Every structure is written in structure tokens, then in C-alpha cells.
Amino acid sequence: MSDKYLSFTQSQIGRLLVKNLGLPDPVELERYAAGDPLVNGAVLLGGSGRLVESLPGLLGPLGIATDDARADGVRYKGLVFDASGLTSPGQLEALRDFFTPVLRSLERCPRVVVIGTPPEQVAGEERITQRALEGFTRSLGKEIGRGGTVQLVYVAEGAEAAATSTLAFLLSPKSAYVSGQVVRIGAHGAKTAEPVSDWTRPLTGKVALVTGASRGIGEQIARVLHRDGATVVGVDVPQAADGLVKLMNELGGDWLTLDITAPDAPQRIAQHLKDRHGGVDIVVHNAGITRDKKLANMDADRWTSVIDVNVVAPGRITAELLAQKVVNPNGRIVGVASIAGIAGNVGQTNYAASKAGVIGLVDSLADELTDGITVNAVAPGFIITQMTAAVPFATREVGQRLNAMAQGGLPVDVAETIAWYANPGSTAVNGNVVRVCGQMMLGA
């Protein structure tokens, strides 16, 4: 699957029409490939908060070059501004002072990260000021253009050293389709991170369970986790067995075919993981279905099947794995939600309810988990897959263009976000829901 409009805009006639008619002008996004540097260029640092002095030490081991002063004629691939030291609204002027002179000196597909303090952890004018950062970053994300992304990372006091995995993800092409997001580090539970011995294969020795793994987004999740060193256990329905077995053989993984809504599915999965792998480190609830109809025409089967697959089954499987202690210490539980669960969608009351329920699963567990286990979710927007290829042309084009990047995402964009959650260094990344949607213009 590909974005034919994006390809058209790269042609001579396409460039002419875009310029003269004011059509959407998407930039071909840079994406990560194994062996690439995380950041292909320099990152300019600024600000006066709790992390600014430690940022070179956090980024240096990743091979990321940093500058702490702007130099004339230098173009930057990334900007990191530590705003955690801003305590009154008047001090927000520091954002303009740092960003305005340098925004025209950015490379193509630049990465911008603003660091703050969780507003709920401070009071008075400082709380007002830190909350204001969300409006700033989301607006800049819609202005930056050229395939750029802008994120806000709230780092709780005491969690400063745990920011490395998040900065590595957000400053690299791995976050190509993630923009305008707010990430919290150390807001729930742990404020430290497990050491990462090899940032190119951080999941070496880990076991990852991926449901719905035979194709589409699930296939890419399996591939990216394998690339990062994990042994993947793919789960899918018996009808998808051929594709599942072929993929797992290619990746040197393991597989299990079953219906995740079956009464004994959680027990079978738990037993398989214990018997064959001694436990699991990463659990990705990717399996999902749609059965779209407006609510006035929604029959009981359409409603129940979607709720059962998308939210009831992940809840039951998670509960069983935790109860049997199959999830290893410093384990990761990741749900695949949807932008529909945040913004809603016509004809998808069942689907949107189920995906909002996945977010509820994250909320319910974030403060309950122990032993360094985390729970987070991704919420994809319009991702180009075989399923979306069947969407009527006009609807598909609106879905792909109505975001800050004027294009649809790829399954690998979802997979890279999950791999960041799965990283051993992400122990302090807990209770987050990150949208992989190119920063949709409306609704979320």
C-alpha cells in the first residue's frame, strides 16, 4: 500500500499543481532503518530547567551530537528546550526567544522536543505556566511543516535520568508520524530506568507476545520488535494460521492460533508462555475488528463482537497473565487504541467505545502494577493498510490529508511507538496514550 497522492506531488506536474492551486503538499517522511544513526545531524539545546545541564550526557551515549549555543549558518536536525524552569506566565517569552530565530535554520523532517514539569505536581503560577506548554507545542506542531514533529515531555521531579529512551524515540525518524503529543515520564510509579546495554538491539533476551500478528499493523509490530532483539510469539485466529506461521518462521519466533475471545484463551496463552518461554516481557494487544453501522442500525452481534475482541479479551488476557505472574519484572503491557476512541467517528459507536475502553484499561492499571511493569497505549489515526485501502476514495483522501503532515501513516509508525514503550529504558514511561496520527487537525 502507498500514498498515490504523495507520489503524484513529487512529479513535475504535481509540484506545479500544488503550487498554483494551493493543494496539500505532503513531505515524504524520513523513517528509521536498522543501522541508521538515530539523529542525522546536530541537536540544539536551550532552556534553564532541571534537565538542561544533563541533556548532553543523556544524548551523547546515543551518538547524538548537541550544541548549547546557536551558530550562524548551521542547520539543525533537532531542537530540545528545557522549560521545566519556567514558573510564571511572563517567563513563557523564553520560548519565543529560543525558537523564533532558529526555526528557519532547520533541516528537512526536524524533531522538536519541549521538556516540562507535570502541571499536576506544581501549583499556582507554575502550574499555569507548565500547562501553557501544551498549547505552544501543539500549535508549533501544526506550523513547523517540512515533515517536522513537535512533542512535549513532562518529566516528574526525580525522573530526569529516565528520559533517555523517550528522547531517543522522539528525536529520531522512529517517531515520523507522531506529533503534537504529550508524554509523561515518572508520573506513575517508577522514576528510574533499567540500563540498556545495546541501543541498537535493546530487546535482546526479551519475549514479546503480539496478538493479531499475521498481517497489517500486527505484522509490523512483530518485525520491529524482532529487529530490536525480541523473540516474538504471534497469536492470531486459526483462519490466519498460514500467514502467521510463515511470518514467525521468518522471524525465528513462535506462534499460537486461537480466538482470543474464547473462554479458555487467557489460560491457554498463559500456559503456552510459561511452558515454552518461562514467561513474557512484552504483551501487545493489537488484535481488533470493526463492524461499522450507525447506532440506529446496529444489531447486537455487531456491537458485542467488537467489544469482546477489542477490549474484553485484552482485559481478560492481561488479568490472567498478571494473576499467574507470567509477566516478568520490568515487563510491558501495550494496548492498541484508536483516534476514534478519543475523537469518535460516525458509524463507529461500537468501535470507538471499545478503543476508549483500551485507554480505560491503561488508566485502571497504571497505578496498580508493581515490579517495574508498565502499561501504555498507542492510538493510531489514518494508517495505510489493506483495510483502509477498501475505504471509499473521498473518505480515504480526507482521512489522509486532515492532519499536520497531510498524509496517512504506515503500520511501521505504530510499531516504532510500541518498541519505544517496550524498551527496557522506558520503565518510567507509564500510563501514557500517544496518538500516532500525524497530529490530526480536528477532534483530538
User: Cβ contacts of residue 404 below 8 Å, gap of 6+?
Assistant: 141, 142, 179, 180, 438, 439, 440, 441
User: 280 to each of 81, 234, 237, 329, how far by Cα in Å?
Assistant: 37, 12, 20, 9
Catalytic one of 76, 154, 351, 421 = 351
Work out the number of other CB atoms within 10 angstroms of the CB of residue 20: 8
Bridge-based pairing of strands 254-257 and 280-285 is: unpaired
User: Cβ contacts of residue 300 below 8 Å, gap of 6+?
Assistant: none
Instruction: Tell which phi-psi region holds residue 373, choosing left (phi > 0), alpha (psi between -120 and 50) or beta.
Output: beta
Q: What angle do CA 10, 14, 18 make, to 5 degrees?
A: 105
Say if residues 146 and 110 touch (Cβ distance below 8 Å): yes
- Strand ranges (DSSP E) for 83-189? 106-116, 149-155, 181-185
Distance CA 277, CA 138 (A): 43
Cell 512533542 found at: 151
Active-site annotation holds for 351: yes
337: closest CA among 372, 374, 383? Answer: 383
Active-site residues, by number, are: 351
